[in-house]
Amino acid sequence: MQLEDYFDFQRPDDIRVKGTRIGIETILYDFIHRARTPEQIAQTYPSLNLEQVYATILYYLHNKEAVSNYIADWLEWSHQQLKAQQLNPSPSAIRLRKLRAEREAIEKG
């Protein structure tokens, strides 16, 4: 089995663990930025097994520059999406913000 056999390369900006809907960025963000162990990551995502987590980390280590760029692009896209949501909140988000503000006002009483 080749390392790449663990993944579905759907698009250049969308690599997922084969048989799941989990992108490699999810696993690698937990591993790199949250310093979670492979065991912790596998426990967090029930659709993953430990072998898939290790394969993702190994894929990253073998393709560090390309995968680092992939993650950086994903992080930038995520930040853009968050800004867009903040600028144009959904009606339910507006309602939740209003309820939170009302609750805080009551607590300050």
Q: Read off the tokens for 109.
A: 């009483």
Task: Count the alpha carbons within 13 Å of 11 in the hemisphere toward its beta carbon.
Answer: 3
Q: Other C-beta atoms within 10 Å of 45: how many?
A: 16
For the chain, the domains span 3-108
Does the domain at 3-108 match CATH 1.10.287.610? Answer given as no
Cβ atoms of 27 and 74 closer than 8 Å: no
**Residue 50: per-residue pLDDT:** 97
Is the confidence at residue 57, as pLDDT, over 80? yes
Confidence of residue 64 (pLDDT cuts 50, 70, 90): very high
Choice between 87 and 48, residue whose per-residue pLDDT is larger: 48
Residue-wise pLDDT tens digits, 21-37: 999 999 999 999 999 99
